[in-house]
Chain A
Amino acid sequence: MKERLNPGAVADSPGSSKQNKTGSWRSFRPIVTDKCVGCGLCVQYCPEACIEIKDVKGKKTAVINYDFCKGCLICLGECPQKAIKSEREKK
């Protein structure tokens, strides 16, 4: 495929980084447990910005988008409630 090089190194397709699904990089999977209080600290720390606080069955809780979660487990280390555990990724 001929690569398109916009002069000035201009990336002109906004949001195109979403095409890069970093979820495939994951060898450990963080899992949010019931202990989550929805404080949102993990949202701040996630380098891929793939955690959201959502209302799940009447309770605020962290929800991870595994399409982009690369398994760095920073959220696990930062969670003040120790509410995130990890599992080995089964491929």
Chain B
Amino acid sequence: MRQTKKNVVEVSYAVAEAVKQCEPDVMAIYPITPQTHISEKLSQMAADGEVSAEKINVESEQSAISACIGAQAMGLRAYTATSSQGLALMHEILFIVSGMRLPIVMTVVNRSLSAPLSIWNDQQDSFSQRDTGWIQLYVENGQEAYDTQIQAFRIAQETNLPVMVCMDGFMLSHVYEPVEYLAQGHVNGFVPRYKPGYALNPDKPVTMGTLGTPHYYVQFRKQLQDALLASKKTIMDVNSGFRSSFGRGYGDGLIEEICMKATPPMKKGTSRKHALITIGSVTGTARDVACKEGLGIIRVRSLRPFPEEELRKACSGLDSVGVLEKDISLGANGSLFDEVKAALYSLRDGPVVSSFIAGIGGRDITMDDIRDVCTKIKAGREVREWVM
């Protein structure tokens, strides 16, 4: 269906709009490049009375997330956003949020980490927080950033788990592109009022995140792990619910398979032998190249919970796959590569898995770069390379 007018907006503003429509009660945000346009827009909205949330100006990201803990523990809906060093500064608190099962929603506008100082995009910042017990969803484009922001509030409160919506800094956050907004009534219908299981209330005192002696701590950790694994279903259900309500969905919610089925000039009935595994906005550029090169694309949308079974299923029967990612676990490999490889290890006749580290520190990933990666994947030999 062709619209006559498209709502072309900066993606950061679309995200701010989605947050506004989800009606948070408290927004505690410390501005940092490239998250600033979200933070500025929400401040403007709060000042203009467009959003009723209390906007707390904090002195650091550690304070921002801590203020969110206080708010969410009171039974309110809390939101924050950050990037890079800001996310790193939140690190110790992130465990507390998930351990206390507070469904805080945070937008991470991905940026590399210092040193050397860089404001540009890669995904080292959120990848390095993947063990903190937060759900992490990575989006490909502006529309998905907007839609996922709305889904995140619902996923969070249905699972009592915090959610990070990760979007590439600049590559997405500062791009003007068409984003279709939902009507406020539809958002309200999709994200019901938050009803906390427990809330701080002087009339009915509780202690949250109490002391966990070894006997108890392990049980709570297992409980948290089980909740994260179970959240897969919630993420999938919310994705399919969104699709049936509004006509937009993203794969099965956890991964998206792109041109994995044979298309001309391939023979009908034959299937792809090679695939590129991607995460985030680079998938867009890959769409234009990989399919033409005869490869399918498997995009990881949910890094946590990790779609282990889904990836095994998607990759079974393939000869080779290559993981293209914007992060590096220094001293090891790209983290997505390591996790994909581990997931596929026990697959009978599983594919060769190659690693391509690309787009680090904002290095542009060109169509030629991806073509080159595709050629190497098709060669079927395992390689581990940096695209630079």
Query: Residues of A with Cβ closer than 8 Å to B?
Result: 3, 5-12, 14
Contacts and interface: CB of A to CB of B under 8 A. Distances in A.
Binding site of A, secondary structure by majority: helix, strand, loop or mixed?
loop
Contact of B210 (A3, A10, A14): A10
Interface string B88-111: 000000000001111000000000
Nearest to B207: A11
Given A14-B205, A14-B206, A8 B101 contact: yes
B198 A3 contact: no
Given A9-B208, A10-B209, 6 more contacts: A3-B219, A7-B101, A8-B160, A8-B208, A9-B210, A12-B206
Contacts of A11: 206-207, 210
Binding site of B, secondary structure by majority: helix, strand, loop or mixed?
loop
Interface in B219-250: 219-220, 223, 227
Contacts of A8: 99-102, 160, 197-198, 208-209
Contact of B207 (A3, A5, A7, A10): A10
A8 B96 CA distance: 9
Nearest to A12: B206
Minimum-distance CB pairs A-B, first 4: A8-B101, A14-B205, A11-B207, A8-B100
A5 B101 contact: no
A9 B206 contact: no
Contacts of A7: 101, 160, 197, 223, 227
Of B99, B160, B207, most A-chain CB atoms within 10 Å: B207
Contacts of B102: 8
Contacts of B210: 9-11
Given A10-B198, A12-B198, A5 B219 contact: yes
A3 to B, nearest CB: 7
Contacts of A3: 216, 219
A16 to B, nearest CB: 10
